[in-house]
Amino acid sequence: MYTKYNSPRSALLAAAVLSLVPLR
């Protein structure tokens, strides 16, 4: 999913999303 956005910001966003929506 984050293939086009290979940036540190994407990683932070991904971490925030994972924090908000835990993997079930």
Segment 1-24, tens digit of pLDDT: 555 656 778 788 888 888 887 766
The whole-angstrom separation of Cα 24 and Cα 12 is 20
Q: Identify the pLDDT of residue 3.
A: 57
Name residue, tokens 């956005």. 5
Q: Could you tell me the two tokens for 18?
A: 């994972």
Is the entire prediction scored with pTM above 0.75? Answer: no
The whole-angstrom separation of Cα 15 and Cα 9 is 10
Q: Identify the pLDDT of residue 2.
A: 54
Question: DSSP labels for 3-19?
Answer: SS--SHHHHHHHHHHHH
Q: Could you tell me the two tokens for 7?
A: 């940036």
